Amino acid sequence: MSGISEYIDSEVKGNEVVLFMKGTPGFPQCGFSGQVVQILDYLGVDYKGINILTSGELRQGIKDYSNWPTIPQLYVKGEFVGGCDIVREMFQSGELQPFLEEKGISVKGAA
């Protein structure tokens, strides 16, 4: 495992909810990352946002790690959930909040 893969692996396994995104939760730098931030914030989920724009190696590394070509990427309890489309569909269908609660993630907001 390369250094970047080890870093990604430690972040995914060391945080209950982690979002690899363009920008930061306070300042998303793409619409798709922004949508996932809005959903997580609406639900009141505590999560760590990791800005992939800080490093080309990180940007490519997360795609290799998940075998998923797009950003953002959401991980819950070490498990890859998906990108913006999947998170948005889960939220709109009412699946996201129960999924998070089943994983033991505190959901404070109303969905």
Residue for token digits 């692996």?
Answer: 9
- CB-count burial class (<10 Å; 0-12, 13-18, 19+) for 13: exposed
What is the residue extent of each domain of the chain? 3-102
Rg (the chain; Cα; Å): 13
Name the CATH superfamily, with its identifier, for domain 3-102.
Glutaredoxin (3.40.30.10)
Tell me whether residue 84 is annotated as binding: no
pLDDT tens digits, 53-108? 999 999 999 999 999 999 999 999 999 999 999 999 999 999 999 999 999 999 98
8 Cβ neighbours under 8 A, 6+ residues apart: 20, 58, 61, 62, 65
